[in-house]
Amino acid sequence: MTYFDAASTEPLHPQAREALIAALDVGWADPARLYGPARRARMLLEQARTEVAEVLGARPDEVAFTASGTQAVHLGVLGTLHGRRRAGRRLVTSAVEHSSVLHAAGIHERDGGSVETVGVGRTGAVDPAAFREAVLAGGTALACLQSANHEVGTLQPVAEAAAACAEAGVPLLVDAAQTAGRTPLPKGWSVLTASAHKWGGPAGVGVLVIRKGTRWRSPLPEDERERRRVPGFENVPAIVASAAALRALAAESARESARLSALVDRIRAEVPRLVPDVEVIGDPVARAPHIVTFSCLYVEGDVLLTELDKAGVAVSSGSSCTASTLRPSHVLEAMGVLTHGNVRVSLPQGTSAGDVDHLLTVLPDIVRRIREDAGIRS
Amino acid sequence: MTSTRATAEEATQPPALTIDALGKKCPIPIIMLAEQINRVPRNAIISVLADDPAAFTDIPAWCRLKSHHHVASHELPQGGWAIHVRRNY
C-alpha cells in the first residue's frame, strides 16, 4: 500500500513508538500527586512540554496539552474570545480554515458574537490587505489564520496577518496543524494550535500555546489540569511520544521537507502531462512541502478514491458529492476551483520516488476508465 | 448567490439551448454541458439548470478551464440556478 494521506495523519514515527512503550511503563501515574511514580510521570510530562515548546518557539509555561488538535482550536478560539469579551465580540477568520475553527465561530455567532470571513483568491491564500482591513475594524476580539491550508497546501500570509494584528492590538490564533515540525513557524502569533498525530505522534494529543500576556479564559467548567486550561487527566505516555515525534520530525525536516517538496513538484508537473483535463490547484511555490491537490474533470471524487485504493494508493479528496454532507468542500468552493474529481496527495516522511512513480503509473488509466464509463471521450 | 457579471447585452440574450440537470449530482451537469455545447452556434448561450451546490462553483470553473465564458448564474424560484454559459469557440 502506498500511503499518501499524511495530511490526515502521519504514520507513527519509530521514535514515538519507542517512547510510547517506555512511557506506558514509567509514566502511568497521576502527575498531580506527590509520591514517587507520580513525580516521575510529572517529570516526563514537563520534559515533554519543554521539548515541544522549544520546537514551536514558545516558553514551556505557555504550552498546554489537549485531547486533540480540534480541542486545541475550540479552546483557543472560544477561550480567547471569552477572555477578550470587553474588547469586542468580533471574530475574523479566513474562508478556508479547518472546520474546527469554523464550527467554533458558529458557536460564537449563536452566542451573539459576529464573524467576519475573509475570502481567498484562486490559490487559496487570503489577501493580506483584506485581512488587515478586517482586523482593524473596531471591536475585533480575535483573528484566526491557518499556517497552511489542509486541503490544498497553500501557505497563508501569516507574517503580514501578524503585523496587522499587532497594529490593531488584536491577538492572532494560528492553526499550525499542517506545518508544525515540518517548516519553521511564522512569528507574531498570540495563540498557536497543532495536532500531534499529524507530525508522527499518536492520536489523542493536541497542543494549545497561549503567549504570555494574551487574555484567555476557559469556556469550559473549571478544572485544575494543564494550568486550568484543559480539563481532564493528561495522557502522559502519548504526550511523551508526541514530543519524541516532534523532535525527530523537526530534526529531519530541513532535509526531508526539501526532498518531499521536490516529489510534490514532480507530481504537479507530471499529472497534467499524463492526464487530460486536470487542474492542479493551490499555490505552486508558497505551499506546505508535502501536499498537492488536483481535480479531474468529469470524474466523481469518491469513485476515483475507490479505484486508487484498489490499485494500492491511499489518498483523500475534498470532493463530497456522495458524502453525507452533500456539500462541496468549503475550501474548493471559496477558491472557485473544480469541486468534483478532487484528489489530495500528501506525502508522509520517507516517501520514495518509486512510491510517486506508482501513483503516476496507475492514475492515467484509472481516470481514463472512469471517464469512459461515464461516456466521456477525451 | 446570483452572480452579476453579465453585460446588458448578454443578460438579454435568450439561451439557444437549456439543459435540465436538476436533481443530477456533479459531475453529471458538467458532463451534459460538455456533451451539448457544440450543438449551439459560437457566441450562443446555453442555460444549465442545476441544483447540486457543486454545480454553482464547478460550471464557472469548467468555463475557465475550457476557455468558454460564464455569463451569469440566476437563482431559480424552486431552488438551484440557471447557469448561463457562452460558447466561445
Nearest to A189 by CA among A207, A212, A205: A212
> Buried (b) or exposed (e) across A277-301, using 16+ Cβ within 10 A?
bbbbbbbeeebbbbbbbbbbbbbbb
Between A298, A321, A327, which is nearest B31 by CB? Answer: A298
Residue count of chain A: 378
Identify whether the C-beta of residue A249 lies closer than 8 Å to the C-beta of residue A257.
no
A76 to chain B, closest Cα gap in Å = 32
Q: Which domains does chain A have, with CATH numbers?
A: 14-248 (3.40.640.10), 253-373 (3.90.1150.10)
Contacts of B26 in chain A (CB under 8 A): 300, 321, 328, 339-340
CA–CA gap between residue A199 and residue A12 (Å, rounded): 8
Identify whether the C-beta of residue A264 lies closer than 8 Å to the C-beta of residue A272.
no
Contacts of A329 in chain B (CB under 8 A): none
Per residue in B14-48, pLDDT tens? 999 999 999 999 899 999 999 999 999 999 999 99
For residue A320, the model assigns a pLDDT of 52
Q: What is the DSSP letter of A134?
A: H
For residue A325, the model assigns a pLDDT of 55
Q: Which domains does chain B have, with CATH numbers?
A: 24-86 (3.30.110.40)
The residue among B1, B5, B26, B28 with the most chain A CBs within 10 A of its CB, best to mutate, is B26
The 3-state DSSP class for residue A215 equals coil
Cα A124-A130-A131 angle, rounded to 5 deg: 75
Told to judge if A144 belongs to the known catalytic residues of this protein, a careful annotator would answer no
A209 to chain B, closest Cα gap in Å = 37
CA–CA gap between residue B4 and residue A78 (Å, rounded): 37
Nearest to A345 by CA among A265, A285, A256: A265
A121 to chain B, closest Cα gap in Å = 13
CA–CA gap between residue A283 and residue A262 (Å, rounded): 14
For residue B31, the model assigns a pLDDT of 95
CB contact under 8 A, B30 and A339: no
For residue A322, the model assigns a pLDDT of 43
Per-residue pLDDT of chain A (378 residues; tens, 9 = 90+): 999 999 999 999 999 999 999 999 999 999 999 999 999 999 999 999 999 999 999 999 999 999 999 999 999 999 999 999 999 999 999 999 999 999 999 999 999 999 999 999 999 999 999 999 999 999 999 999 999 999 999 999 999 999 999 999 999 999 999 999 999 998 999 999 999 999 999 999 999 999 999 999 999 998 999 999 999 999 999 999 999 999 999 999 989 999 999 999 999 999 999 999 999 999 999 999 999 999 999 999 999 999 999 999 999 987 654 444 557 899 999 999 999 999 999 999 999 999 999 999 999 999 999 999 988 865
